[in-house]
Amino acid sequence: MDFFEQQDLARRRTGRLVWYFALAVVGIVVAVYLIAWFALAMVGGYAEEPGAVNPYADSPWHPELFLMVALGTLGVILLSSLYKTMQLSAGGEAVALMMGGRLIDPMTSDLTERRLLNVVEEMALASGTPVPPVYVMDQESSINAFAAGREPGDAVIGVSRGCLEYLDRDELQGVMAHEFSHILNGDMRLNLRLIGILHGILVLAIIGWFVLRSMPFSGRSRGGKNSGGAIAVILVVGVGLLVVGSIGLLFGKLIKSAVSRQREYLADASAVQFTRLPDGIAGALKKIGGRPETSKIESPHAEEISHMFFGNAFGSFGSQLFATHPPLVDRIKRIDPSFQGEFPSRVKPVKVTAASLEAEKKAKPKPGRPWGAMLPHRAAAPLDPTGVLGQVGMPGMDKILYAAMLLESMPQPLRDAAHEPYGARAVIYAVLLDRDPAMRTRQLEALRPKAEELSYRETERLAPLMDQLSGPARLPLVETTFPALKKLSPEQYRRFRENVERLIQADDKVDLLEYTVHTMLLRNLDVHFGLAKPTSVRHQRLDGILPSLIRVLSTLAHGGQSDEAEVRFAFDQGMAQVDRTGSVLEKAECSLAQLDTALKTLAEASPTLKRQILGACAACVAADGKVIPREAELLHAVAANLGVPIPPIVTPATAPAVPDVS
């Protein structure tokens, strides 16, 4: 699975969907016009005055009527679609709340919820995506889940209560890997647009239904000899709109189902590649087939987002004509060819205890050396640039294990604080504090009058623990704060944002860690709080953004090398990846402010261009065959700006053991 190819494919599918929608709207406009003409032609048959001429009885073509009908129909469809799209503008959170989801408290005492949050955090850190908030649908006893959002930064995970109660950790991990593949493949934006488009068409059927319901009142109110004619006209209009809207919705469902079924196969395959545990996702699918509730969702909104679920929202054994998911048996056989179609006769709840959670940690494969040896803070590690690109969007089990060990390495007070809004702010403040005592005092003095009292006290408490935290764990710790920070009010976020900038500027300079943390926060939270719009694609060709790429490669070359010849060699290695030549910029022209400007331009590149850009950056960093921590942070800063989920860099020689699935 190629992340960049899938992102580009998702964009093309979205464009194709718009064309399908346009063709459907044209057909609907014509059908509504014929209904309107027929209704008006009928009026002449019930005219009160003998000899009255009906201008619509002779010819079916009337331009003025067509224009009125076209404008009215287009207005209804487009406004309805726009209304639904605006309802979902909050991203995945709006979908989760619509489905009756309850946000899981990161400090929850429910062990099944705790286990789920652990799995989601590991998956997110392993894949390089922001940790998403997790919602549970308590009223749903079936086994199902979904991922929703416009992009990884505003994604959420939703799970049914049955998912928590009946799946063991490997099965839960398989389901979550499936949902993360939807996040990484760019499926979520397409799924949200499908909801908006189909709602616009559905409104016509709703209008027809209301027109039909008005028939008794219309006949009573007229009470004259032509009341039968009025009822006949209303009947024609109501039935016509109901039929047209229903047929339009029918074809919309066909399009939705066809697109969704293929994406489900891909997500299943990606989940197996991700976890290297085919029995996990296969076991979850088998348990769906072995329970009476299967994967059915009872919510009245299930139809709207049926294409977003892990399993068929209407049950696993219904008609496949409009099914948004492939047959359950087919999905399992693609993962487990030995499956004979027999489901377990009884599926028992999985009992989760504190001891079992601890046992799961101990059961994970461990590397031969302590986790800190995998990427020492002050040492260099080998880096294969092709491996960096190959693992974007598909990190593998070694990264999941590495992420789990990173989480275990973090002092528990830091992890707990990252899961609570006041504490999460304190974690970010503590990350940004300078190691120099005098400068740290200056930063704290600047923070004290502006920060909330509780957050300030937490910052002082956490600062010594942050000093003990190894470098590779700092950015992952920052990523775990995002769900808690999204719970801030707009005013709280504004003050927090100002405090972050105040801490960074307190020493009159911006170092690399400060820049990277600032970039991660702004990219993932500014859009959530409405302070920025999601980045759109503006550049399809490299030549238009080549000066920005030259500046980024020059910054990377200077960041990892000191000798002039080595700087030039690293720069040339990066340029060779895009088949271009150029001159490396002087170090004075490679400040973080200039880098930021260049990266904002590159962020507007198409997915296929981003592949070339990131490949060039990785080749530049790996020119000497190794990567130092500063280069790794720069590479992560570049990826964060591009919106590309880059997994942690792990030394191959000390990577965790991965289960053999051959």
Q: Which amino acid, one-letter code, is at 162?
A: G
Answer yes or no: do 57 and 114 share one domain.
no
**CA–CA distance from 18 to each of 32, 91, 257, 388 (Å)?**
21, 20, 16, 34
Question: How confident is residue 12, by pLDDT bands cut at 50, 70 and 90?
Answer: low
State mean pLDDT over 221-228: 52
Question: How confident is residue 655, by pLDDT bands cut at 50, 70 and 90?
Answer: very low
Residue 179: active-site member:
yes
Whole-angstrom distance, CA of residue 87 vs CA of residue 134? 20
Name the domain boundary from 335, 362, 390: 335
Whole-angstrom distance, CA of residue 268 vs CA of residue 274? 10
State mean pLDDT over 478-486: 92
The CB density around residue 77, as the number of other CB atoms within 10 Å, is 25
CB–CB of 458/426 below 8 Å?
A: yes
Residue 154 backbone phi and psi in degrees, to 5: -120, 20
The stretches of 291-420 forming alpha helices (DSSP H) are 328-335, 354-363, 385-391, 397-409, 412-418
* Residue 286: CATH number of its domain: 3.30.2010.10
Name the domain boundary from 335, 362, 385: 335
Whole-angstrom distance, CA of residue 17 vs CA of residue 569? 46
* Residue 558: CATH number of its domain: 1.10.3680
With 0-12 / 13-18 / 19 or more C-beta atoms within 10 angstroms meaning exposed / middle / buried, residue 88 is buried
The CB density around residue 430, as the number of other CB atoms within 10 Å, is 25
Whole-angstrom distance, CA of residue 434 vs CA of residue 431? 8
pLDDT of the residue at 2: 59
Range of the domain at 286: 93-190+264-335
For residues 201 and 421, the model is more confident at 421
- The β-bridge partners of 135 are 103, 158
Answer yes or no: do 527 and 579 share one domain.
no
- CA distance between the termini of the chain: 18
Question: How confident is residue 651, by pLDDT bands cut at 50, 70 and 90?
Answer: very low
Answer yes or no: do 196 and 166 share one domain.
no
- At residue 201's C-alpha, the angle toward residues 258 and 255, to 5°, is 10
Decide if pLDDT at 413 tops 90. Answer: yes
For residues 160 and 317, the model is more confident at 160
Mean pLDDT (the chain, rounded): 83
B/e letters for 479-494, b = 16+ CB within 10 Å, e = fewer, are: bbbbbbbbebeeebbe
Name the domain boundary from 309, 335, 361: 335
Question: How confident is residue 661, by pLDDT bands cut at 50, 70 and 90?
Answer: very low
pLDDT of the residue at 368: 40
* 370 located within any domain: no
Answer yes or no: do 517 and 592 share one domain.
no
With 0-12 / 13-18 / 19 or more C-beta atoms within 10 angstroms meaning exposed / middle / buried, residue 141 is middle
Decide if pLDDT at 124 tops 70. Answer: yes
Answer yes or no: do 418 and 468 share one domain.
yes
Please state, for a pLDDT cut of 70, what percent of the chain lies above it: 84
CB–CB of 107/417 below 8 Å?
A: no
Whole-angstrom distance, CA of residue 383 vs CA of residue 386? 9
* 108 located within any domain: yes
Whole-angstrom distance, CA of residue 479 vs CA of residue 125? 8
Decide if pLDDT at 594 tops 50. Answer: yes
B/e letters for 432-449, b = 16+ CB within 10 Å, e = fewer, are: bbbeeeeebeebbeebee
In this predicted structure, which of 117-131, 308-322, 569-583 has the lowest mean pLDDT? Answer: 308-322
pLDDT of the residue at 277: 85
Answer yes or no: do 432 and 471 share one domain.
yes
Give the CB-side neighbour count of residue 17, counting CA atoms within 13 A. 26
Decide if pLDDT at 656 tops 90. Answer: no
pLDDT of the residue at 228: 55
pLDDT of the residue at 654: 41
Task: Choose among 481, 636, 489, 639: nearest CA to 132.
Answer: 481
With 0-12 / 13-18 / 19 or more C-beta atoms within 10 angstroms meaning exposed / middle / buried, residue 507 is middle
pLDDT in tens, 495-534: 999 999 999 888 777 888 888 888 888 888 988 888 888 7
Answer yes or no: do 86 and 232 share one domain.
yes
The CB density around residue 66, as the number of other CB atoms within 10 Å, is 17
245 token code pair:
């809207």
Answer yes or no: do 211 and 230 share one domain.
yes
pLDDT in tens, 39-68: 888 775 555 556 667 777 778 888 998 999
Decide if pLDDT at 171 tops 90. Answer: yes
The total of structural domains in the chain comes to 4
In this predicted structure, which of 94-98, 272-276, 540-544, 570-574 has the lowest mean pLDDT? Answer: 272-276
Sign of the Cα pseudo-torsion (196, 302, 163, 326, in order): negative
Answer yes or no: do 167 and 288 share one domain.
yes
| Annotated active-site residue in 113, 121, 151, 179 | 179
In this predicted structure, which of 38-47, 177-186, 462-471, 542-551 has the lowest mean pLDDT? Answer: 38-47
pLDDT in tens, 355-403: 888 777 666 554 443 434 444 344 455 566 666 767 776 677 888 888 8
Answer yes or no: do 609 and 573 share one domain.
yes
654 token code pair:
């000390």
Please state, for a pLDDT cut of 90, what percent of the chain lies above it: 38
State mean pLDDT over 466-489: 90
* 377 located within any domain: no
407 token code pair:
């989480």
Using only C-alpha atoms, what is the Rg of the chain? 29
pLDDT of the residue at 650: 60
pLDDT of the residue at 144: 97
For residues 256 and 620, the model is more confident at 620
Answer yes or no: do 269 and 163 share one domain.
yes
The stretches of 506-591 forming alpha helices (DSSP H) are 512-521, 546-560, 564-577
* 258 located within any domain: no
Answer yes or no: do 181 and 300 share one domain.
yes
The CB density around residue 579, as the number of other CB atoms within 10 Å, is 9
pLDDT of the residue at 344: 92
Question: How confident is residue 319, by pLDDT bands cut at 50, 70 and 90?
Answer: low
Question: How confident is residue 425, by pLDDT bands cut at 50, 70 and 90?
Answer: very high
pLDDT of the residue at 398: 81
The CB density around residue 16, as the number of other CB atoms within 10 Å, is 13
Whole-angstrom distance, CA of residue 544 vs CA of residue 54? 62
pLDDT of the residue at 660: 47
Q: Which amino acid, one-letter code, is at 2?
A: D
* 257 located within any domain: no
* 484 located within any domain: yes
**CA–CA distance from 387 to each of 31, 149, 382, 383, 401 (Å)?**
54, 28, 11, 8, 18
Question: How confident is residue 215, by pLDDT bands cut at 50, 70 and 90?
Answer: low
Helix, strand or coil, per DSSP, at residue 76: helix
